[in-house]
Amino acid sequence: MKFNPDVSSSRRKSRKAHFAAPSSVRRKIMSSALSKELRGKHNARSLPIRKDDEVRIVRGKYKGREGKVTQVYRKKWVIHVDRVQRDKSNGATVPIGIHPSNVVITTIKLDKDRRAILDRKDRKKNGKSGEDVEMVD
């Protein structure tokens, strides 16, 4: 059921908004799940993917491969992972695009901005855990 009159539930408009999204919005959409260890450590389920993160591919032809993210190609909605490439007929090697939803982040490249994002997510989760809530008769 639709609750917000300002948001369209039209499939056509949703698809247009998705595929015509600017780079800043694509960053958020191109998020990947965190591994079980990172999920427990940082109290977050997913994070926008970034160059130099280490990932494990969990779906598709290259399932099981691990490597470092060499490029986040927002225009094509894919990431390029180290050593996931194929040879062209002329002998050149080209990286294969992997959708970020098909990978799990195993190592996060942390800097102060990324740490702030994780702290914010952690605070949000801990705030929802029911602190300062009392049942009154």
Residue 109 lies in a domain: yes
CATH of the domain at 41: 2.30.30.30
Q: What is the mean pLDDT of residues 112-128?
A: 89
Instruction: Please count the structural domains in the chain.
Output: 1
Residue 59 lies in a domain: yes
Residue 20 lies in a domain: no
Residue 101 lies in a domain: yes
Distance (Å) of CA 85 to CA 34, 61, 74, 76, 98 = 23, 12, 18, 16, 10
Q: Which domain holds residue 79?
A: 29-126
pLDDT of residue 108: 97
Model confidence at 43: pLDDT above 90: yes
Q: What is the mean pLDDT of residues 105-130?
A: 88
- Banded model confidence at residue 2, pLDDT cuts 50, 70, 90: confident
Residue 92 lies in a domain: yes
Residue 86 lies in a domain: yes
